[in-house]
Amino acid sequence: MKLLLKYLSVVVVMSVGAGAYAQNIDQQEQYDIFSVLNRFVISNAAAGQCYKPTMEEQKAFGVQYLSLMIQVENQIVLQNPEATKEDIDNEIKARIDPVTFKVEEEIKANGCDTKIAKGLVELYKFHSTLDLMAPALKHQK
């Protein structure tokens, strides 16, 4: 898991513009599974408003997002072993909704032709090319 997070941290840092915006969402945020989730959420929110992904990109992004969500759910259970499915869903919603709202407000106020919006769209495209399971699988061998 730590190898995966280290890999994703490097990936996120490489995303100029989008990474800076993601850091502005929460200056104190560390590179953990929840910050990776934030980056997926912000890129998806921006792409939803500023980009028309191909079916292939949508499918690839969706596969990566589902893989990430499994890891997020597992982390929530590790932090709170008594969490019900409803608790987990509520925590995820509480994490995703404000981040999505901030991106939507940014784009609503400044449009899709800004450095931030363009960077987030590029981050979406990049996320659709990832294989989030690859580092974890390599580490297990």
Domain boundaries, the chain: 2-140
Q: What is the pLDDT averaged over residues 60-67?
A: 92
pLDDT at 11 over 80: no
86-132 residue pLDDT tens: 999 999 999 999 999 999 999 999 999 999 999 999 999 999 988 76
Contact predicate 124/118, CB 8 Å = no
How many angstroms separate the Cα of 47 from the Cα of each of 41, 58, 124? 10, 10, 7
66-99 residue pLDDT tens: 999 999 999 999 999 999 999 999 999 999 999 9
pTM for this prediction = 0.71
Give the three-state DSSP class for 61: helix
